[in-house]
């Protein structure tokens, strides 16, 4: 008995086919007439059926993924006796998430085109999709055109036997991207590590102004996807870091970009973090500085950095001896300094400096100094065999010291001191024994010969000789140029000058260049000679401008004031300081024939007070 063709609706065409096949010996097949979607969601609870004409709505990714919890397909099929086999095979390939579907179509060797080929290809693609539980949905919008193009091409060229087609695409999920924290500088960095050079630790790398400190890269929230079986592709859980950077004050500023926040330093200093957040601090407090603890401290002394080291252990230095050195604008030391180097603008040392210490400062206070010091303004309570080269120096008690400065103010000049005043020396309370005051344009702590002056004199003579030679050459060139000026003017008006005339013209212009070059040299030589002569004049006149004020009532033995009035060390004018010099000012007077040391009670106390005022701030700040 022949099978009667049936049309029916089903969720599973293959199951319906098997059911019909069980009731007949004829081999059956089915064709898809139509299909629709049945969609439902839980929150909010809703169901809806979409006909094939509405399937374009599902090309929108969000509509496909988010609108419904479940999507199933229902088919209208026609079951009929199978009466043909197809001259091709179709295989589907998909990615692991089942969001991309491709079909490979291979034709048999004896394939011949027939009119229903497109319909049969589509029917077989749909059947395999149904069998593998893929929704016939979100088909490639060019699928039908591509099949048409392929059929046309194989009609023209029967040797073409295969094609690969994009069938459908679901929606890939996009995983969450975690936020990210980048530390360019970190407060948790070790300030000193024995494995790195002592001069390369973080204390040697303060934060520069406008330096990038850290970055917080925003999280990117992912999106769920849906594959071609209608299954939701859920996102993997992820732990976000959150922004850890709480900014304490305006010492750190931010730059907000599309994907991140950048944090920059507004000031120069060190990165600091406390309960209130991050900041750039210009204060650094340490208990000790040394090779094994901090390494060197190196900051820009032009920046406002306050470094404080406190170590009251009298058996140990606050800044230890060794190869480390310290550089900061403002340095305060509560403790002693070992044999090391110290650089700063404003320095306060309430302790002792080692005999081999070297200190360089603008303004400095020291309780007891034994080392070497170069500064602008100095206040020292006790100088013990130490050396000072400065502009202004105040010492309460001075023993075994060497001081070279424009203005020197000493309360108690004890024993074995050598002073090199350049303008004023004031001694107020006591002068003990064996002290020398040397006033000389040449003799100083670092130089005890007249070599400098001799070199300057020789240089002045060489420059004068060079200058005379330059002037002579310039005059000769000038005379030549003036003499031939009219001739060259006429030549310039000649349209076709001869070879001899051209040679003359070239020579004339070459002389102009030489004259201009000598003119530049002349200006440089004149300036240099003026500077050297001014220096020599200063050296010659310097000793006559120095004043020694003796305000000490107690004066011991073997204390000498020595003047060297010429720019050599051969002539020495010596004065033995004694009790008669009390309340006097001593200075060198230039006589008609010879210079001599003069003393006088005639001086102004205000002159001394003006010098003392220089040190008031240093004394007050360290009292």
Residues 14 and 161 in one domain: yes
What are the DSSP calls for 73-127, one per residue?
EEEEEEEEE-----SEEEEEEE-TTS-EEEEEEEE-TT----TTHHHHHHHHHHH
pLDDT of residue 288: 80
Residue 129 covered by a domain: yes
pLDDT of residue 188: 60
Reported as a single tens digit per residue, the pLDDT across 506-536 is 898 999 999 999 999 999 999 998 998 888 8
Residues 385-400: what's their mean pLDDT?
97
Q: Give the Cβ contact number of residue 67 at 10 Å.
A: 15
Residues 141 and 192 in one domain: no
pLDDT of residue 317: 76
Residue 364 covered by a domain: no
Tell me which residue of 144, 284, 258, 127 sits closest to 205, measured CA to CA: 284
- Name which of 64-68, 178-182, 191-195, 549-553 the model is least confident about: 191-195
Report helix, strand and coil shares of the chain as percent, to nearest 5.
25, 40, 35
Domain count, the chain: 2
Within 8 A by CB and 6+ apart from 499, the residues are none
Last residue of one domain, picked from the residues 169, 195, 215: 169
- Asked if residue 443 has pLDDT above 90, the reply is no
Residues 326-337: what's their mean pLDDT?
90
pLDDT of residue 358: 94
Within 8 A by CB and 6+ apart from 609, the residues are none
Q: Sort 9 into a burial class: Cβ within 10 Å, 0-12 / 13-18 / 19+.
A: middle
| Most confident range, picked from 90-99, 274-283, 301-310 | 90-99
Tell me which residue of 449, 443, 399, 386 sits closest to 420, measured CA to CA: 443
Cis bond upstream, residue 487 (ω within 30): no
Long-range CB pairs of 106-112 (<8 Å, 24+ gap) are 106/161, 106/162, 107/154, 107/161, 107/162, 109/161, 111/87, 111/158, 111/161, 112/87, 112/158
Last residue of one domain, picked from the residues 279, 299, 318: 279
What are the DSSP calls for 376-405, one per residue?
SEEEEEEEES-EEE-SEEEEEEEES-EEEE
Residues 247 and 159 in one domain: no
pLDDT of residue 450: 60
Residue 22 covered by a domain: yes
Residue 357 corresponds to which tokens in the numbers above?
């210490």
- Asked if residue 318 has pLDDT above 90, the reply is no
Residue 199 covered by a domain: yes
307 touches 326 (CB < 8 A): yes
Reported as a single tens digit per residue, the pLDDT across 460-510 is 889 989 999 999 999 998 998 898 888 888 888 888 888 888 888 889 899
pLDDT of residue 460: 86
Residues 261 and 156 in one domain: no
pLDDT of residue 204: 62
Residue 571 covered by a domain: no
29 touches 126 (CB < 8 A): no
Residues 124-131: what's their mean pLDDT?
96
Residues 47 and 140 in one domain: yes
pLDDT of residue 569: 53
pLDDT of residue 191: 45
Residues 231 and 134 in one domain: no
Q: H/E element holding 363?
A: strand 363-369
Residues 199 and 123 in one domain: no
Residues 269 and 238 in one domain: yes
Listed in sequence order, the DSSP H helices in 396-498 are 451-483, 485-493
pLDDT of residue 571: 78
Output the CA–CA distances (angstroms, integers) from residue 462 to 179, 453, 466, in the order listed. 74, 14, 6
Residue 497 covered by a domain: no
Q: Which residue range(s) make up the domain with 107?
A: 6-169
Q: How confident is the model at residue 296 (pLDDT cuts 50, 70, 90)?
A: confident
Output the CA–CA distances (angstroms, integers) from residue 96 to 48, 93, 233, in the order listed. 30, 10, 12
Residues 114 and 222 in one domain: no
- Asked if residue 407 has pLDDT above 90, the reply is yes
Q: H/E element holding 525?
A: helix 499-541
Residues 601-610: what's their mean pLDDT?
92
Q: How far apart are CA 500 and CA 411, in angstroms?
A: 84
Residues 100 and 240 in one domain: no
Residues 219 and 76 in one domain: no
Residues 116 and 77 in one domain: yes
Residue 331 covered by a domain: no
Residues 584-591: what's their mean pLDDT?
90
β-strand partners of 372: 358, 387
Tell me the whole-structure pTM to 2 decimals: 0.69
Residue 262 corresponds to which tokens in the numbers above?
């950048």
Q: H/E element holding 13?
A: helix 13-21
Residue 568 covered by a domain: no
Last residue of one domain, picked from the residues 252, 279, 306: 279
DSSP state of 59: G
């Amino acid at each position: 008995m022949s099978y009667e063709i049936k049309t029916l609706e089903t969720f599973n065409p293959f199951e319906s086919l098997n059911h019909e096949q069980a009731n007949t010996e004829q081999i059956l097949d089915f064709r898809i007439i139509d299909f629709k979607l049945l969609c439902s969601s839980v929150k909010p609870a809703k169901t809806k059926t979409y006909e094939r004409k509405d399937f374009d709505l599902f090309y929108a990714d969000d509509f496909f993924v988010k609108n419904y919890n479940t999507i199933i397909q229902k088919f209208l099929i026609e079951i009929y006796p199978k009466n043909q086999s197809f001259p091709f095979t179709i295989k589907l390939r998909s990615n692991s998430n089942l969001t991309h579907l491709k079909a490979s179509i291979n034709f048999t060797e004896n394939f011949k085109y027939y009119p229903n080929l497109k319909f049969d290809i589509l029917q077989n693609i749909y059947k395999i999709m149904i069998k593998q539980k893929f929704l016939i949905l979100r088909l490639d919008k060019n699928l039908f055109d591509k099949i048409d193009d392929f059929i046309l091409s194989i009609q023209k060229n029967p040797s073409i036997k295969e094609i690969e087609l994009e069938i459908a695409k679901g929606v890939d999920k996009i995983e969450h991207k975690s936020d990210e924290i980048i530390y360019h500088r970190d407060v948790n960095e070790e300030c000193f590590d024995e494995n790195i050079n002592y001069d390369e630790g973080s204390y040697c790398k303060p934060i520069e102004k406008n330096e990038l400190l850290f970055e917080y890269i925003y999280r990117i929230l992912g999106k769920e996807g849906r594959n071609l079986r209608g299954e939701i592709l859920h996102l993997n859980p992820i732990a976000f870091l959150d922004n850890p950077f709480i900014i304490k004050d305006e010492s750190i500023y931010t730059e907000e970009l599309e994907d991140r926040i950048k944090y920059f330093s507004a000031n120069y200093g060190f990165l600091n973090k406390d309960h209130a957040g991050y900041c750039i601090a210009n204060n650094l407090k340490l208990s000790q500085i040394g090779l094994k603890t901090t390494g060197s401290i190196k900051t820009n002394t032009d920046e406002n950095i306050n470094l404080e080291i406190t170590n009251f252990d009298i058996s140990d230095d606050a800044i230890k001896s060794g190869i480390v050195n310290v550089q900061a604008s403002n340095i305060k030391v509560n403790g002693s300094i070992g044999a090391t180097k110290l650089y700063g603008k404003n320095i306060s040392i309430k302790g002792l400096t080692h005999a081999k210490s070297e200190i360089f400062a603008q303004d400095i206070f020291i309780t007891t100094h034994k080392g070497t010091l170069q500064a602008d303004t100095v206040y020292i309570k006790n100088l013990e065999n130490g050396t000072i080269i400065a502009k202004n120096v105040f010492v309460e008690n001075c023993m075994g010291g060497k001081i070279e400065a424009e203005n020197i103010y000493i309360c108690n000049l004890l024993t074995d001191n050598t002073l090199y005043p350049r303008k004023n020396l004031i001694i107020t309370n006591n002068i003990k024994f064996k002290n020398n005051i040397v006033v000389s344009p040449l003799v100083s702590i670092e130089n005890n010969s007249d070599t400098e002056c001799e070199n300057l004199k020789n240089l002045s003579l060489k420059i004068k000789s060079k200058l005379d030679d330059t002037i002579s050459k310039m005059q000769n060139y000038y005379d030549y140029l003036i003499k031939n000026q009219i001739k060259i003017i006429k030549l310039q008006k000649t349209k076709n000058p001869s070879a001899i005339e051209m040679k003359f013209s070239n020579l004339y212009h070459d002389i102009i260049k030489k004259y201009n070059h000598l003119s530049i040299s002349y200006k440089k030589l004149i300036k240099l000679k003026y500077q050297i002569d001014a220096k020599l004049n200063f050296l010659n006149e310097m000793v006559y401008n120095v004043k020694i004020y003796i305000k000490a009532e107690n004066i011991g033995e073997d204390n000498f004031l020595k003047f060297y009035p010429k720019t050599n060390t051969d002539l020495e004018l010596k004065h033995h300081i004694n009790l008669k010099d009390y309340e006097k000012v001593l200075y060198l007077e230039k006589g008609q024939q010879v210079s001599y040391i003069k003393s006088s009670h005639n001086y102004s106390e205000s002159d001394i007070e003006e010098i003392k005022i220089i040190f008031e701030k240093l004394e007050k700040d360290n009292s």
